[in-house]
Structure 1
Amino acid sequence: MTAPAVESREILLDGVRVAYTLRRSARKTLGLRIDHRGLTVGVPLRVGLREAEAFIRSHAAWVVEKLHNRPQPELRPAFEAVEGAAVPFLGEAWRLSIGRGNNRVLWHEIGPERVLELALRSGGDARRLLLRELQQRGLDLFKNRVEEFCLRLGRPVPPVALSNARTRWGSCSSRSGIRLHWRLIHLPLGLIDYVVAHEVAHLVEMNHSPRFWSVVESIYPDHVAARKALRQVAASLPSL
């Protein structure tokens, strides 16, 4: 019986269940592609499932990392900074209040309600003011968390900067230091810490080998669950 040219399948990689498309064609080599649709595995016509999945497992760290860092589809309309809009900050919803002032942002916690007041000058841009505030809060927090995880590893603290990359939550370079996506500030601290721990671990291992994941686990033991939660929550973030 001839195997189908295209199959939808699943495989367990590093504790993560990964859906993939197996595509057989008249190609000569096996190959992997990851895009907005997920993982596609291209194989020659005569290659069986066992060989195809052995090939995927041999690249498990790369696959999991690329899926983790792939751009998320814009499922939500662009965020509007208007009265009553909800803004996630460290995993908690803050209600926007638009007022008059000298372009300041005021944070109010009144009982169970959290209010983020944008005190705008006449003609001020609410979205720009909010974005500037979230990015500054993010940078301050990320520097603190990077320092914490570097202390755990006994490593010098590198420069920390913000990123607005479409494909990565963070990056680490021996030359320029660590860059973290500002949108992480929307997430609970535990998920921020996972991304920070991941990038700090690259100061020890500039790869995604088993040794790298051992470093991650030594400073963030629950990294498998955090990676899964990060993928699930990403699509719900506002398009600010």
Structure 2
Amino acid sequence: MSYIEKKYRLKITEIFEDLPSLETHLIELLNRNSVKVVDDIASVCAKFNKSINLILKKYYPEIKEMKDKLEIKSVLKFYYDLIDKLTDLVRNIENFQKIDSEYYDKLIEFIETKETLIDGKYRTICAQELTAFYDPASRANLEKIISEKYLMKSKQYFTIGSLEEEIKKIAKITGAKQVSIMEVSESHKKHLESAESIITYTISDDKDEGILFKIGTELKQYLESKKYYVVVKSGLVITNAKLLPDKN
């Protein structure tokens, strides 16, 4: 095992070891059975997403040992599903303002059976995927499927709920603490003549330009997929989409 592989394997382990504290906090939020904590749940989801993306994009590609790849991939798959479930929960709360208590219970059960799922269901799935990937004939087919799925995922967004709801959901899942939609002013039209609305957002750490950039990028991609024009500034999105402004 190379030096860089050992180093990155350790980094992945450190990230995984930090996540149970988030899980504990998440269970506390879910146990409240309240839609009032939706912003807190979205914030936790964003933190999970940030950690998993860091592993996936920076560290995991350097891991070559099959045993390590299987172990890491199995854990990642659990968190993929958890993030999907949390995203769905946030979306449903924002759309309907209520959730059956059973929904919370199922999520808590999913988190509490994490180790069983990783050692059983997810390890089996990942072993099959890795076996297929390293078989030359299967690999070519699998790479094509992955490429197509990634392309679809990068261009498609949820369409349930109003445009305003979707914008706020995307921003919060990406890391925004607060999101506001306002009417455009003349000063903003200097950047986009056809501007109709502005979207502002704040984050916990105002100095984290990376998160601000990511939120702006996600909103830009979403709105452009809807055929709107967009200009992104730090903490601000200007668009020609005619959005319903928030009430003061």
| TM-score, normalised by the number of residues in structure 2 | 0.25
Q: Which has the higher strand share?
A: 1
| TM-score, normalised by the number of residues in structure 1 | 0.26
Q: Which has the higher helix share?
A: 2
Please say which structure displays the higher CA radius of gyration: 1
